[in-house]
Structure 1
Amino acid sequence: MSFRETAHSGTDPDELSEILSTPNSPIKVAAEGNMPIAYRCNFVSVGEEVTVADCTYEGTILIRREAPSDRMIVFLPMEGNASFEGMREQIYSVPARGTILEAGRAAGARLFGPRRHFGLFVDQAKIVSHLTHMFERTISGDIDFHPHIDLTNGPGLVLQQIVSSLHRGLSGDGPLQRAPLAVSSLCDAAIYLLLESCPNRYSNELALPAPAPAPRHVKWAIDFMQEHIAEPISLSDIAMAAKVSVRTLQQGFRQFRNTTPMSYLQDLRMAAAHRDLLESDARQAIADVALKWGFMHPGRFAAEYRKRFGQLPSQTLKR
């Protein structure tokens, strides 16, 4: 898994145009009334399909997209307002309310500084791929997400926490750069959270019961997890190995294991962390073992470890 961080700051609209543009979707930025503007943007890319950003703007900034984007963008504002030119109406972005812009759905924007937001950029093809694995059939056309999501509680609050954790953990020499298992899980969690919790064209179908699983599908999934336990495998990867849709796989683990596939995988990785601590010398940092197996919060890791093994990681390490 590759990570790439780029940080920019300045006052030149033309430079900001270059920063926000992609090869397939150039952007033109202007300052309203030629008044002063300022910006500070930090982008971290996970491979080629997912990017998270923390951006701050001053002044009133006009943005015009000169070709449709091939990415879905989710803005999670903390300060200031913005408006986007949707296909049928203006879409307003304000603190406590996230904005979901599907690929090709917004041609322009106006940012009213001071403005700060986190951004989540996901290739539309990756969103469609996840949805395809959920149904185990080809998905085509727009997903038609409702453009707003409440960030004060529920799925919206969780999404904001995921994106901020990704950005904070990957920026600079953040600990998530040494934890590809955790990064993969967080990226997947953000996408599935959007698909399952934000109203869209497939919401009614997603609410229907999944096709009935068989015990063998769960066994195939577990075999795949154990074989690839140290790799950043996704829920879609596990479902493909089990030869069922993601929804059927989830149903199978609920029915036969009373848990979820990703929780089961986390349990396997917790057991692997336990083995590492038993076999390691006292010089090995517990945080390094936790990160190796995808646990990014040392405190939570210690609490879950104690619940599972009846002792703290430090007690295992001293044995």
Structure 2
Amino acid sequence: MVSGTDPDELSEVLSTPGSPIKVAALNNSPIRFHCNFLSAGAVRVADCAYEGTIALKREAPSEKMIIFLPKQGNLIFNYPRKPIESVPGRGTILEGDPTTGTLLFGPRRHLALFIDKAKITGHLSHMLDRTISGKIDIHPYFDMTSDAGLALVHLAEQLHRGLCKDGPLRQSPLALASFCDAATYLILENCQHRYSNELGRPAPAPAPRHVKWAIDFMHEHIAAPISLDDIAIAAKVSVRTLQQGFRQFRNTSPMTYLQEMRMTAAHHDLLSSDTKQTVADVAAKWGFSHLGRFAAEYKKRFGYLPSQTLKA
């Protein structure tokens, strides 16, 4: 728990290395805050209370999807197209974009969930059985009084309680992972986004064995210089049959699928890298020989340069 009255201290509490937030007291009026952030790996949960009128500005994109579950007070996120308002009874979901300015009107109290975007797209990829990347364009509002909204609030409360001090979830990583997965699936299945209609359709037939064999072979040799012929041989089919299978069941080509796997692996390496490793080292490790093209594709895929990930 962090408490205080200094806007600069609150800036430090709310900021992450890659996504700083600037805080100011409106008209230099007094403020007060109490924030308790608890981490569960790819998911963080917070219980925050504020007094006073506070101006905030996110200055760089966040790698988190942020879900606010307000209990008291008003919070307005100013975006170029349309402001997003967070008030009791209405949950708010943001994809971590920079704002032109945010206003908080205390007294304010909310729970908040911060879920890695990689976890969101990973779950979607699993649900749709194909690779998902980039923003999912989730609708910013959901009804907290609905069954799904009440369930999400309950999960967030249990998650926060279970992580406090010597809470039971700290001693049970499997239970903790289940809570985090449940919250993520609850959001994806009940909040509107780009893939909602696709999730609502009947599940497609399972991919044939040769596509699964090909993907298994790619995972086993992800850093090796394998060719399309190598993958087809491992899958026990012709190159043409392999390409048709990926078009039908993965909506992509085998080599593009492999490239996405390697790009994701490079992204994870850069996120967890120590200072001794360079972008060039990571790119070479995962088979990207042209550093400029790697940087361009990386930015297209994740929204920022690999060097920015390494510094975060």
TM-score by length of 2: 0.64
Pick from 39, 55, 65 the counterpart of residue 48 of structure 2: 55
1:92 maps to amino acid? E
Distance 2:150 2:80 in 1: 27
Counterpart for residue 226 of structure 2? none
Q: Secondary structure at the match of 1:211?
A: coil
Give how far 1:90 is off.
0.4
Give how far 1:105 is off.
5.8
Q: C-alpha deviations, 1:181-224, integer Å up to 9, x for none?
A: 2211110011011111101110100000002459x9xxxxxxxx
Counterpart for residue 164 of structure 2? 171
C-alpha change, 1:160 and 1:105, in structure 2 (3 Å) is: farther
Would you say the 8 A contact 1:73–1:122 is kept in 2?
yes
C-alpha change, 1:146 and 1:64, in structure 2 (3 Å) is: same
Counterpart for residue 142 of structure 1? 135
- Taking only aligned residues, the RMSD between alpha carbons, in angstroms, comes to 1.6
Distance 2:67 2:96 in 1: 11
Distance 1:194 1:107 in 2: 26
Counterpart for residue 307 of structure 1? none
Q: Secondary structure at the match of 1:186?
A: helix
Pick from 4, 11, 20 the counterpart of residue 10 of structure 1: 4
| Equivalent pairs, count | 208
Would you say the 8 A contact 1:76–1:118 is kept in 2?
yes
Would you say the 8 A contact 2:57–2:98 is kept in 1?
no
User: How do 1:282-301 and structure 2 match up within 5 A?
Assistant: none
Would you say the 8 A contact 2:50–2:108 is kept in 1?
yes
2:15 maps to amino acid? S
The reply on whether 1:160 has 2:164 as its aligned counterpart is no
Distance 1:92 1:130 in 2: 27
Identity %: 62
Q: Secondary structure at the match of 2:48?
A: strand
Q: Secondary structure at the match of 1:145?
A: coil
Distance 2:160 2:49 in 1: 14
C-alpha change, 1:196 and 1:105, in structure 2 (3 Å) is: farther
Counterpart for residue 123 of structure 1? 116
Give how far 1:104 is off.
1.7
Q: Secondary structure at the match of 2:179?
A: helix
Pick from 40, 51, 56 the counterpart of residue 46 of structure 1: 40
Distance 1:207 1:153 in 2: 19
Counterpart for residue 273 of structure 2? none
Q: Secondary structure at the match of 1:140?
A: coil
TM-score by length of 1: 0.63
Distance 1:102 1:205 in 2: 20
Counterpart for residue 285 of structure 2? none
1:16 maps to amino acid? L
User: How do 1:77-156 and structure 2 match up within 5 A?
Assistant: 77-104=70-97, 106-156=99-149
Would you say the 8 A contact 1:103–1:124 is kept in 2?
no
Would you say the 8 A contact 2:59–2:99 is kept in 1?
no
Distance 1:86 1:66 in 2: 13
Q: C-alpha deviations, 1:109-136, integer Å up to 9, x for none?
A: 2111000000000111111111111112
The reply on whether 1:37 has 2:31 as its aligned counterpart is yes
Distance 1:105 1:206 in 2: 28
C-alpha change, 1:105 and 1:29, in structure 2 (3 Å) is: closer
Would you say the 8 A contact 1:70–1:104 is kept in 2?
no
Counterpart for residue 188 of structure 1? 181
Distance 1:135 1:145 in 2: 16
Distance 2:60 2:139 in 1: 22
